[in-house]
Chains A and B, each alone.
Chain A
Amino acid sequence: MTKYPRMNKSLLALAVAIALPSAYAQDNDQDDIEHIQIISHYDKLRTEAGSATLLTEEKLGEYEYDDIHRVLSSVPGVNIREEDGYGLRPNIGFRGVTPERSKKITIMEDGVLIGPAPYSAPAAYYFPQTTRMTAVEVFKGPAAIKHGPQTIAGALNLVTRQVPEFTEGAIDVAAGGDGYTKAHGYYGSVVNNIGFLIEAVNVQADGFKELDGGGDTGFDKNDILAKFNYRLKQGNFEHTFGLKLSYADEISDETYLGLTEADFAENPYRRYAATAPANMDTQHQQVMFTHNVSGENLNLTTRIYRNDYERAWLKLNSISGKSPQEVLYNLESDNNQRLYEILKGEQDSIVPGATDFLTMGTNDREYFSQGIQFDGDITLNVFDLEHDVSFGVRFHEDEIERKHFEESYDMKSGVSTLVEGSKRFTTLNVENTKAWSLYVEDQIKFDALTIGVGVRGELMDMHYHDNNNPNKWQDKTTRIWLPGVSGFYQLSDDAGILFGVHRGFSPASPAQPAEIEIEKSTNYEFGGRYNDGVTQFEVVSFFNDYSNLKESCGQSNCGDINQQDAEFNGGAAHVYGLEAQFSQRYPLNLQLDIPYGFVYTYTKGEFKNERYTKFAQWGKVRSGDPLPYLPDHQVSFNIGLSSDNWRTSLAVKYVSSMEEASGSSWDIGTDEFTLYLEGQEVPASTTVDFSASYDFDKYGQVYLKVDNLLDEDKIVSRRPYGARPGKPRQFTIGYKYQF
């Protein structure tokens, strides 16, 4: 994270901001249009209903994280499945929804949907560069119904830097292990009432994995952001017009292929020779116009946006027609030992008696996402009751065009080479959605009780067609209304009780037949808050009652190319848990404070029916079987020590073990299904991150951070194709200068 602390902030404010796992916003961060909901000041009891968490610029700057997984590790109710160690393609879930490609949460940047195609293909292969964000907002429970289409779990809003009111700029350069470098800078000012901001980031690394035969395993990411605004005052109303332009690209040497257990035990950071050609190439552009008008009782924001994204990921799909998981998990079957040795480059593809090529697939996809949305807020007094009415309407269109193809690669003497002319197209199709959505929520104050009543509607016209077959198409219309109610009862100046219930849903993709049941749930939450300005404590319990839990296959979570984009019904399921956070500061003396905080999440997810599925993470499930990749316990502990010009912080995160698969393999009649990874677990892990900084006042700030201080090297996941490690210990030293 490149976050530039404001030098004149009081020690107290900084200390609390560091300490609070869910530190609350500063006043001056609340009313800009990048934020989508005002969250109360840190030193007062929050009286809004619904679960909302804000990570401020100070909090984000504490550890200078580039990985959203690490950023969210101190937010309660977040479940994560790590994958590449750098968080290039995050897997984030809230309250037990599947974390796969963050497809079950609504992801926004500056209040607009930022996923490549949130309705048509919600897997978030594009994720904004976290390091340039100045705040991260997390909404769960009824608070999420304002932010669809995914409303079961919640919403995540990433807030980019706002145009400054005065001339301001900064640079941040850093270097670390495994070839890591970061160069980040911005400059903004106001000229003739027109404010502007230019920001650019480059983050790259050679990678921490060791490729057989040598070569990079890292990434190179660029981000450029330009913003302009114009403010105008007319009578009692203030208008702000904004234009935002952004560009991002990424080249990464990423693969889905992991290791066998034995190879992982020997060297967790090894990468087989077959992955050498792997390459992810992406580009993203965004254009957004905004207008905000605000007065004493009214605030109305209009956003018009267009996102274009394209990606082509070359990676191993199979070897001699077999999925790599089938090979790596069954070395004692068929010719799998030979195929495994080809993956390692120890055998050639062509030998006397056998020809076994590597099949590398390039999932080449183009997306767009565009729309116009109005969000408003008005305060009224009706029948002697205070009403705070939020409302919004959005027309959104998104599309994914798949142009997938495969090519054969010949492994010879440890080097994998393209077989010229072997390109063949596999999936060629288009999915498109045009969606109207609207919401209205009224927060009504009855003395100490605030009740929020709201409803969200989604009307989706979806289209699918196969470019290989003109008779294979579908036009589908789906309409759904999702009500919710939430409340907060203030017991005293320092304490209160919150509760809520809402319907959540997750849209089915345009290619899924209309008769396929969509995912729906009824979600409940109940809890309490305490805040006396020194101690903050919040406990929220939740219960999500799914009438039908759904999953879909991508290569990352299934691994079976034949099941690509298939959707599966899991039937009734329950997810329940408890989110607790506590923070306090301990004054050591007049100069030094020790701020500290805990966050604890308990989550239990289980099926409530019995069924046979062919989903790669379920198999045959029975009532009571746990949901995969959902840890029972997550604990994070943050402690800091800070003075006028120096600061240290330590973050400890414990995640209990997680099931890699839910049910069991099955064999009925003539049908059978092998559930790979049945009974296996991602082991529990404890990760410690450390950071420290020294402020040279007008000469800038030097910082040092150590990610994974204890050099934990446990398996973070075995999907899709074998065991993969998290990031090893990484030292980074950086320098920041702000003017």
Chain B
Amino acid sequence: MRVLKPLSAVAVAVSLLLSGCGESSSSTTGSEFVNNDGSTNPTNPTNPTDPTTPTEPTTFDEAALVANLVNNVLSPALTQFHSFAEAQQTQIGAYCSAAKAQAENADSLHEQAKNSWRAAMSSWQYVELMQIGPLLTNGKELKGNIYSWPAGGALCSIDLDVVYHEAGIINGNASLPYDIKARTSDRKGLIAIEHALFNANYDHNCTFENDALAPWNGRTVNERKVARCEFAHTVSGDIVDNSSEILARWQGDNGFANQLLNAGGPGSSFDTPHLALNEISKALFYMTEELKDKKLGTPLGLFVNSCGFESCPQDVESDISEHSKENLLANLRAFKQIFTGEGSNTENTLGFDDFLDAEEGTEVKQRMLAGIEEAEAALLALDGSLKQAITDDAAKVTEVHTKVKNVTDELKNDFINKLALELPQTSAGDND
């Protein structure tokens, strides 16, 4: 029994230690440690919709702001693109018929088809800067089917699909019927149509020729025009289908628009209007990486491009159609619409600018509004296309980049801090 007494003491000591073993942790941090750089030190929330709750509740009517942005900015942009996409399909169809018949008005219809693409593209560039909800789901699948930029664009891939489309089967394999729905996004969408309609070089762009492609360069220009046009027509139909799908997921009782509008209410995935607003604000960050760095910085040689680190005109967006300036203009105006709330209803202009006023951010608002105006003015001051401007006067393009950067600097710092919004992880790394 002499064993029992010390054993009991051991048991008690161990129980105490195991149940309440001492543990403590404390820290002091630098002013920017809390807002961790997502790329180097992110944390993972148990709940995936990590709330960014303001430290003090705002008196500003965030739900009203969400409602105006949804109803007067975001929804109209989507419906407007849909109508332009349908018009594009019609115009391309008309051009194809004329080209096939070698009709006299074929060239004129070709120009109209190109114009319909330009209109659709400009309209899309509004949506491009409004990437939320169904445009983001499943790895941006629907968005990519309409416009896969910055990925994709290899002309050889599109050339192959032109011949596969014409043959109705993939590379001579009868068991693989051509189905535009099953084709990857880099072979269709607005980029593919641009190549099919605008590229005046009718030879293919591949360094190798498979059996399906081998006869291509030996065919007449008109045959190749027709093949490209009919391919473009099929693609334009696919764009309409994808646009319809986006609208279906956006509209209706269970649509994403209602999720935003009913934030805080039953059935919404947003617990508060602030979280809905946060979701919309993420779209604005398109201006940082895509617009500033990829559309301007890369062709300017600020980032590695196909020329190395030099100005590289061919690396602009929409290179073949030389539509890049118009794309940028649409992006800037879309940004401005979200920021100012100035959309389809001129009587309701509740925007982030008003939210900034309410949160003692008037100076930030003014700097951002001035920045947007200056960026747009600098862009419009370019002579000719962006591609031409990079060749002729890169300094002017650099000026556009500088003005855009003024806005994104505000966006990434004072804007989100004043409004207690979240910096998207993709914008956390600083390329400046």
Contacts and interface: CB of A to CB of B under 8 A. Distances in A.
A352 B154 contact: yes
B24 A479 contact: yes
Contacts of A611: 46
Contacts of A671: 48-49
A481 B155 CA distance: 64
A334 B148 contact: yes
A355 interface: yes
A274 B139 CA distance: 25
A350 interface: yes
Interface stretch (B63-71, B103-111, B229-237, B301-309): B301-309
Given A334-B186, A477-B25, A422 B309 contact: yes
Interface string B38-77: 1111111111110000000000000000000000000000
A472 B319 CA distance: 41
A470 interface: yes
B266 interface: no
B6 A385 contact: yes
Which of B22, B132, B205 gathers the greatest number of chain A CB atoms within 10 Å? B22
Nearest to B11: A485
Nearest to B145: A334
A118 interface: no
Contacts of A422: 304, 309
Given A612-B46, A670-B132, A670-B136, 16 more contacts: A333-B184, A351-B154, A352-B155, A353-B156, A353-B205, A383-B6, A384-B2, A408-B304, A419-B304, A427-B39, A479-B22, A481-B22, A503-B17, A513-B36, A567-B44, A671-B48
Chief secondary structure at chain A's binding surface: strand
A48 B26 CA distance: 38
A138 interface: no
B152 interface: yes
27 contacts: A333-B139, A333-B184, A334-B148, A334-B184, A334-B186, A350-B306, A351-B156, A353-B154, A354-B153, A383-B6, A422-B304, A471-B32, A472-B37, A474-B28, A477-B24, A479-B23, A501-B14, A501-B18, A503-B17, A514-B25, A562-B38, A567-B43, A567-B44, A569-B46, A668-B48, A669-B48, A670-B279
Interface residues of B, number: 74
Interface in B197-211: 205, 207
Interface in A259-285: none
A472 B269 contact: no
B158 A353 contact: yes
A473 B29 contact: yes
Contacts of A564: 39-40
B156 to A, nearest CB: 6
Contact of A480 (B2, B22, B37, B186): B22
A470 B30 contact: yes
Nearest to B14: A485
Chief secondary structure at chain B's binding surface: loop
B44 A569 contact: yes
Interface stretch (A238-246, A295-303, A446-454): A446-454
B346 interface: no
Interface of A: 320-322, 332-338, 348, 350-355, 357, 383-385, 408, 419-422, 426-427, 429, 444, 446-447, 449, 451, 453, 455, 465-466, 469-485, 501, 503, 511-516, 518, 520, 522, 561-569, 571, 611-615, 666-674
Contacts of B304: 357, 408, 419, 421-422
Which of B41, B138, B319 gathers the greatest number of chain A CB atoms within 10 Å? B41
Which of B38, B43, B195, B205 gathers the greatest number of chain A CB atoms within 10 Å? B43
B186 A562 contact: no
Contacts of B17: 455, 481, 483, 503
A420 B25 contact: no
Contacts of B177: none
Interface of B: 2-3, 6-7, 10, 13-14, 17-18, 21-34, 36-49, 132-133, 136-139, 144, 148, 150-158, 184-186, 191, 195, 205, 207, 259, 269-270, 279, 304-306, 308-309, 315, 319, 425, 429
Nearest to B3: A446
A320 B151 CA distance: 8
A695 B85 CA distance: 83
Nearest to A609: B46
Nearest to B21: A481
Contacts of A470: 30
Which of A338, A420, A481, A563 gathers the greatest number of chain B CB atoms within 10 Å? A338
Contacts of B3: 446-447, 449
A351 B155 contact: yes
A514 B42 CA distance: 14
A503 B184 contact: no
A670 B154 contact: no
- Closest 6 A/B residue pairs (Cβ): A669-B269, A483-B17, A335-B186, A514-B27, A353-B155, A354-B154
B151 A670 contact: no
A674 B136 CA distance: 13
A353 B192 CA distance: 10
Contact of A332 (B148, B155, B184): B184
Given A335-B157, A466-B40, A513-B43, A421 B152 contact: no
B37 A670 contact: no
Contact of B6 (A408, A420, A444, A477): A444
A334 B425 CA distance: 22
A335 B154 contact: yes
Contacts of B152: 334-335, 354
A451 B10 CA distance: 9
B185 A333 contact: yes
Contacts of B137: 667, 672
B25 A476 contact: yes
Contact of B184 (A335, A480, A615): A335
Nearest to B34: A513
B44 A614 contact: yes
Which of B29, B40, B186 gathers the greatest number of chain A CB atoms within 10 Å? B40
Nearest to A469: B32
Contacts of A322: 151
B25 A478 contact: yes
Nearest to A571: B46
A368 B138 CA distance: 44
Contacts of B153: 335, 353-354
B48 A419 contact: no
Given A474-B27, A481-B21, A453 B48 contact: no
Contacts of B279: 670
Contacts of A673: 48
Contacts of B270: 669-670
A672 B28 contact: no
Nearest to B276: A670
A420 B44 CA distance: 37
B30 A668 contact: no
A412 to B, nearest CB: 11
A353 B195 contact: yes
A443 to B, nearest CB: 12
Nearest to B148: A334
Contacts of B31: 471
Contacts of B155: 351-354
Contacts of B21: 480-483, 503
B73 to A, nearest CB: 18
A96 to B, nearest CB: 20
A461 to B, nearest CB: 10
A240 to B, nearest CB: 35
Contacts of B2: 384
A334 B3 CA distance: 73
A420 B186 contact: no
Contacts of B30: 465, 469-474
A336 B156 contact: no
Contact of A566 (B10, B29, B42): B42
B103 to A, nearest CB: 30
A479 B308 CA distance: 52
Contacts of A668: 48-49, 269
Contacts of B186: 334-335, 338
